[in-house]
Amino acid sequence: MISEAPPREPAADSTGPAVRIATTPRGDHNPPAEGTPEYVVELEGVSCYYGSFRAVREVDITVARQEITALIGPSGCGKSTLLRTINRMNDLIPSYRSEGRILLDGQDLSAKSVDPVAVRRRVGMVFQKPNPFPKSVYDNVAFGPRINGYKGNMNELVERSLRRAALWDDVKDKLKQSGMALSGGQQQRLCIARTIAIDPEVILMDEPCSALDPRSTLQIEELMAELKRDYTIIIVTHNMQQAARASDATVFLTMGDDRAGFVVERGRTIDIFTNPKNRLTEDYVSGRFG
Ligand code: ADP
């Protein structure tokens, strides 16, 4: 069922302190419920394995509400693995298992009793390569709400989702055309519209711009800045400028001799890029390695 909750208020200040002591203010009409945790997503001691290979080692990350958090680090350090662990996508890989706790609004998502499909409704994902369904633009967006039994006005929901993905003006006369016929940047925005149509709390983005040209990349970054008024975004990116431009918080990972990825440093993006505490971070963000 799609949530009927009123739209969430924009974040008041994205340049806040590294550690928040309260949830982002939401205004008088929609205050956070009492007891709402300060972080939407928390990873506690998360290790990820493919068979006997430990790909990620004992990661602790906290993700603040209505912010963009970037995961950066050299190829193979486990960024995608971590991202896919958060919405339990990696459960689909038979050799995969994780240890530790992944909390969404304080609830442990890694518990065996939690239905991964329900998790993926709350934590949406946008992939590296735009992957619209071979269906019409309209049906791409309506697909998720339909299978979730949405009872509201579907035309309105499709239009609202496409508007929020900054795609409506491009496609309002082509709703019946195939989503695959759109340009790469439009396809990625269609995938974002498809994701937000089921109103998740968190949107995971795995290098969403790596297949796009610079103009489409900028459009997606502008869209992310809009979307964080309502959603929490975690993005994996290889593009240092993108992380620096688009994110509020940054987590830098690297690999040990055992090839297991681990967190070197995390904090406000401005601090990570201009005043890193760790030499490894400094070398990476300045392009000296990675
Ligand atoms: P990154 O996103 O930082 O490039 P990945 O999460 O893709 O890193 O990969 C981390 C490590 O896990 C790599 O050593 C990679 O080879 C391994 N890995 C990723 N996916 C699988 C898989 N499906 N099966 C086995 N090993 C995998």
Q: What is the pLDDT of residue 174?
A: 97
Q: Which atom of ligand 1 is closest in space to residue 90's alpha carbon? A: 23
Is the per-residue pLDDT at 233 higher than 60? yes
- For helices 184-196 and 137-147, give the axis angle rounded to 10 degrees: 20
Report, as an integer, the average pLDDT of 260-266: 97
Q: Which atom of ligand 1 is closest in space to residue 259's alpha carbon? A: 14
Measured in whole angstroms, the distance separating CA 66 from the mean position of its chain's CA atoms is 11
Residue 181 is assigned to a structural domain of this protein: yes
Is the per-residue pLDDT at 226 higher than 90? yes
Q: Listing from the earlier edge strand, what are the strands of the sheet with 96-104?
A: 107-108, 96-104, 39-50, 53-64, 261-268, 249-255, 68-72, 232-236, 202-206, 123-126
Residue 18 is assigned to a structural domain of this protein: no
Q: What is the pLDDT of residue 88?
A: 93
Residue 8 is assigned to a structural domain of this protein: no
Residue 3 is assigned to a structural domain of this protein: no
Residue 13 is assigned to a structural domain of this protein: no
* Residues 92-108: tens digit of each pLDDT: 999 999 999 999 999 99
Distance, CA 226 to ligand 1 centroid (Å)?
31
Residue 29 is assigned to a structural domain of this protein: no
* Residues 32-88: tens digit of each pLDDT: 566 666 799 999 999 999 999 999 999 999 999 999 999 999 999 999 999 999 999
* Residues 134-177: tens digit of each pLDDT: 999 999 999 999 999 999 999 999 999 999 999 999 999 999 99
C-alpha distances in Å from residue 87, one per residue of 94, 117, 139, 157, 214: 16, 9, 23, 24, 29
143 lines ligand 1 (CB under 6 A): no
CATH number of the domain at 206, please: 3.40.50.300
81 lines ligand 1 (CB under 6 A): yes
The answer to whether 217 touches 175, Cβ cutoff 8 Å, is: no
* Residues 15-33: tens digit of each pLDDT: 333 333 233 333 333 445 6
Mean pLDDT for all residues in the chain: 88
259 lines ligand 1 (CB under 6 A): yes
Q: What is the pLDDT of residue 10?
A: 35
For residue 287, name the pLDDT band (cuts at 50, 70, 90).
Answer: confident
In percent, how much of the chain has pLDDT > 70? Answer: 87
The answer to whether 72 touches 79, Cβ cutoff 8 Å, is: yes
- Provide the domain count of the chain: 1
Farthest-apart Cα atoms in the chain, separation = 55
Residue 25 is assigned to a structural domain of this protein: no
Q: Which domain holds residue 271?
A: 39-285
β-strands 232-236, 68-72: how paired? parallel
The answer to whether 39 touches 62, Cβ cutoff 8 Å, is: yes
Residue 4 is assigned to a structural domain of this protein: no
Q: What is the pLDDT of residue 285?
A: 94
Q: What is the pLDDT of residue 111?
A: 81
